[in-house]
Amino acid sequence: MATRIDGKAFAAGLREKVSEAVSTLTREYDLVPGLAVVLVGEDPASEVYVRNKGKQTLEVGMNSYEHKLPDTASQSELLAVIEQLNNDSKVHGILVQLPLPDQIDSQAVINAIDPDKDVDGFHLVNVGRLATGAPGLVPCTPLGCMMLLKDQLGDLSGKNAVVVGRSNIVGKPMGSLLLAQSCTVTIAHSRTQDLAGVCREADILVAAVGRPQMIPGDWIKPGAVVIDVGINRIEGKEGKTRLVGDVDFDSASAIAGAITPVPGGVGPMTIACLLRNTVQAACAANDLPFNLD
Ligand code: NDP
């Protein structure tokens, strides 16, 4: 039976380290890291995410700034908010909650953020830094996956890693991080042939597809470490809904060496890494050393 990788506990430990780093920065350098979150519109799921981010930011002792714009906001109105935050020395991290309404070009907005405040790591400069191995801000979800993998495996060098999914926010940056750890990396997607066969070769399997329980146990190499990024809501018992991943947890647990559950695996790591990235950005902006890994 696979080891259950407890992302919830790991994320709590990371938040504790962030909190200690924040109190040291506050005490010794009079520096309180600040995270600004910008929300456009009233999407209920986005509102929940933004509220959680704000709450956890305050809990670790950082300043939290929330900017809400109506869903009719124009691109130039949003860009004006970004410019103001770029110029605000109390703000070290800026996050624009996605998705944005149709009238707004998301990538243009992301690229307007000062790359050194881009705590989501989506700015083209940070994408380039990650791809070339230069220091920069790394997208939170893949960063969280990598922390769990290193904790589980130690050295990843030479491992055969398969990432299913090639999105800019998860699949591609995950591939870059695995390559940086000297894994042999395959990024699979909807056009991949013999996906089952590709997955069966993986010592490390990262699923970031968005299809409930798509990967069954018999696609998994015995002993593999499986990281399930997927968050899918499906019909449960008695008309209730429940969350499942992209991997069929029960059959996969019988074969894998270790596996993240959904919920309680990768999910909690994302906000914890966002807080970590904000401390990284605050340290960099003030020429202070950063060591939280
Ligand atoms: P996207 O929809 O942007 O990308 C999905 C990827 O899966 C695409 O590359 C797509 O291929 C591929 N894909 C779709 N169907 C198949 C298939 N049948 N076989 C192989 N590949 C397939 O999703 P995201 O990367 O944004 O998110 C993926 C999942 O992770 C979602 O469930 C999301 O909710 C979850 N998520 C969780 C986070 C967390 O905090 N834990 C954060 C972010 C996302 P193609 O490119 O060819 O279309």
Asked, for residue 102, whether it belongs to a domain, the answer is: yes
Region 174-195: what's the mean pLDDT? 98
Cα separation, 179 vs 173, whole angstroms: 10
One domain, residues 144 and 254: yes
User: Would 288 be classed as within a structural domain?
Assistant: no
Share of the chain above pLDDT 90, in %: 98
| CATH number of the domain where residue 161 is located | 3.40.50.720
Tell whether 154 and 221 lie within a shared domain: yes
One domain for residues 123 and 88:
yes
Mean pLDDT of the chain: 97
We report the CATH number of the domain holding residue 126 as 3.40.50.10860
* Substitution site in 209, 211, 269 for ligand 1 pocket (most atoms within 8 Å of beta carbon): 209
Mean pLDDT of 83-90: 98
pLDDT in tens, 3-34: 999 999 999 999 999 999 999 999 999 999 99
Nearest CA to ligand 1 atom 30: 230
| Residue 147: inside a domain | yes
Q: Report the percent of the chain where pLDDT is more than 70.
A: 100
Indicate which residues carry an active-site annotation. Answer: 53, 97, 120
Does the residue 59 lie in any domain?
Answer: yes
Which of 132, 159, 192 is at the close of a domain? 132
Q: Identify whether residues 33 and 148 lie together within a single domain.
A: no
Contacts of 208 (CB under 8 A, 6+ apart): 141, 163, 164, 165, 167, 170, 171, 174, 229, 230, 246
- pLDDT for 135: 96
pLDDT-derived band at 237 (thresholds 50, 70, 90) equals confident
Whether the per-residue pLDDT at 197 is higher than 90: the answer is: yes
**What pLDDT score does 6 carry?**
98
89 pLDDT band, cuts 50/70/90, is: very high
User: In this predicted model, what pLDDT tens digit does every residue of 107-141 receive, in sequence order?
Assistant: 999 999 999 999 999 999 999 999 999 999 999 99
Residue 22 lies in a domain: no
Domain count, the chain: 2
> Is 149 found in the same domain as 105?
no
For 4, other C-beta atoms within 10 Å of its C-beta total 14
Within the chain, residue ranges assigned H as helices are 7-29, 44-59, 75-86, 106-110, 124-132, 140-153, 171-180, 195-200, 249-253, 267-285
Summarised one tens digit per residue, pLDDT across range 241-276 is: 999 999 999 999 999 999 999 999 999 999 999 999
Residue 36 has which token pair?
């600004």
Average pLDDT over residues 32-60: 96
Write the residue with the smallest CA distance to atom 22 of ligand 1. 190
Q: Is the pLDDT of residue 293 over 90?
A: no
Tens digit of pLDDT for each residue in 72-83?
A: 999 999 999 999
pLDDT confidence tier of residue 292, bands split at 50, 70 and 90: confident
pTM of the model: 0.98
Range of the domain at 63: 29-132
**Residue 177 domain flag:** yes
Q: Are residues 154 and 120 in the same domain?
A: no
- For a substitution probing ligand 1, which of 48, 146, 190 has the most ligand atoms within 8 Å of its CB? 190
Instruction: Looking at the CA of residue 164, tell me the nearest atom of ligand 1.
Output: 21
What is the pLDDT at residue 255?
98
Final residue belonging to a domain, choices 110, 132, 154: 132
Do 123 and 209 share a domain, yes or no?
Answer: no
